């Protein structure tokens, strides 16, 4: 089993619905996202997946969320609360669809709201 990881950061505002505490008020984070790709086979170049392709897939999601209010963006406007857990899920779904390679799997996405707090989604 091979594993490749890429980390990137984006900035966004959010607030949490159905929650009582400081995070019910709008605030921002420099979110760090770590995407982990797994697979059994390497391509002819000896790569599980080209880092460039993973970074491009992450940038496509950043184009949706970076410097935005997450609460105004589907599915976070109604369907999902923009928690770190749900943001990790969202990235996993989007990046899986973008890479669309049956030989690899987006096995884990971790989203940090601060240096000390993160949430991970593993499908
Ligand atoms: Zn927050």
pLDDT in tens, 79-120: 899 999 999 999 999 999 999 999 999 999 999 999 999 999
Residue 16 CA to ligand 1 centre (angstroms): 8
Residues whose Cβ atom is located within 5 A of ion ligand 1: 23
Domain count, the chain: 1
- Nearest alpha carbon to residue 83 among 35, 34, 12: 12
Domain region containing 46: 2-121
23 compared with 5, residue with greater pLDDT: 5
Residue 77's CATH number: 3.30.479.10
Catalytic residue among 14, 29, 108, 113: 113
31 CA from centroid of ligand 1 (Å): 9
Q: Mind listing the pLDDT tens digit for each residue in 72-84?
A: 999 999 989 999 9
Annotation marks residue 23 as catalytic: yes
């Amino acid at each position: 089993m091979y594993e490749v990881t890429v980390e990137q950061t984006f900035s966004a505002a959010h607030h949490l619905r159905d929650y009582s505490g400081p995070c019910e008020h709008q605030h921002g984070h420099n979110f760090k996202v770590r995407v982990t790709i797994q697979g059994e086979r390497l391509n002819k170049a000896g790569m599980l997946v080209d880092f460039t392709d993973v970074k491009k897939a992450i940038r496509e999601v950043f184009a949706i969320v970076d410097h935005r209010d997450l609460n105004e963006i589907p599915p976070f406007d109604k369907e999902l609360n923009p928690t770190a857990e749900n943001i990790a899920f969202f990235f996993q779904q989007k990046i899986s669809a973008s890479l669309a390679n049956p030989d690899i799997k987006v096995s884990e996405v971790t989203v940090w709201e601060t240096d000390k707090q993160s949430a991970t989604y593993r499908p």
